[in-house]
Amino acid sequence: MQRSEKYLLFFTFFLNLSYLFIVLYTEITKTHNLIQMATLTTQHMGVTLKNPLILGACNLSNNLDKLIEAEKAGVAALVYRSLFEEQIQLEDNDLSNQLEAYDERNAEMINLFPKIEHGGPKEHIHNLKQVVEALSIPVFASLNAVYKESWVEYALQLEATGVAGLELNFFSVPRDFDKSGHDVILQQIESLKAVKAAVKIPVSVKLSPFYTNVLKTIKDMDDAGADAFILFNRLFEPDIDVEAEKHVSPWNLSTHSDHRLSIRYIGLTHGNLNASVAANNGIYEGIDMVKMILAGASAVEAVSTFYHNGVGYAAEMLKELEEWMDRKEYDSIEAFRGKLSSKSINDPFVYKRAQYIDMLLKSEEHFNAVI
């Protein structure tokens, strides 16, 4: 065999081998990417989700087309807008006032209208059931009631729609000077226990940060059987129009920095509860999800970003999460969940008051950096 033929044979062999390596590398990369997508799965209140992104409770629930679009964009679950007992009571009272406005105008006319009662939660229940039937992702109901009996009554009606779980929205505004904070907490814990005893679906608790010791409250509710916690509520506060001299209700969306409070308490609770913990407030980007999971969250509930960017933005958020995981070589959510929680780091002061003291001691340094 001529030397040139040997070189040609060797060169051909080398090309074929290179081609084989390229094919193998391509297939391995494809497999790696598929694994990355497959392992975004997580657990929220005992329910398996395909990824950590949940569309939180809001009025977007009123538009079924938007919910279908959100599902197609990759949202793993949604929380249907809250059923508020107080709203039902106000609507019932308003209906009664309208129907009785012209009663007893003369001796022969006692009632102008026949006896009509407000439909209560029937419309809410009907719409929720339609959403559950229309979507393939888990749908969670949300409830804010007043009395322990009504917590149970409405919880059972919501469960009957086929929802995957129930979120108790413990939004309580103090109105009684004589009722202690401890009494409020005990009432909420009793309501949680009553609902847990009545329904068969998982029950989560959505809390505000405005407890004297929110960690103690969370631990007591964990002991009472809560399957998950959502930290924290977005409270809608009144404002005043000084020119019109009247109260107004501004559109109160979260800001990008609002998630920092959630980071603190998720980082402190991780590893100390039986329940899972989800983050809420200020979740705008995929990188915000990364932060929450590093602190210990199993899932996040986002709302404001979808008002700003549209529900289709969920796909961009999930892409950013996947790209970060790929860059860091994490093959699952659990591989990095809680990595920067209080229990997992060596610095005991990151989540505590010493952080504030450190800011005071370095105030001049921070001031100079700003200017």
Both tokens of residue 153? 């009554």
* pTM: predicted TM-score of the whole model, two decimal places: 0.80
**What span, in angstroms and rounded, lies between the C-alpha atoms of 348 and 329?**
27
> SS3 for 116?
coil
H or E, element range at 166: strand 165-169
199 touches 166 (CB < 8 A): yes
**Residue segments in the chain with a per-residue pLDDT below the cut of 70:** 1-38, 86-119, 173-174, 348, 353-371
All structural domains of the chain:
39-340 (3.20.20.70)
pLDDT digits (tens, 9 = 90+) for 123-149: 999 999 999 999 999 999 999 998 889
pLDDT of residue 351: 76
Q: What is the pLDDT of residue 55?
A: 98
The torsion defined by the Cα of 220, 172, 58 and 252, in degrees rounded to 10, comes to -120
Q: Tokens for 39, please give them.
A: 């392992």
pLDDT of amino acid 107: 52
Name the DSSP class of 82. Answer: P
How is the chain split among helix, strand and coil, in percent rounded to 5?
Answer: 50, 15, 35
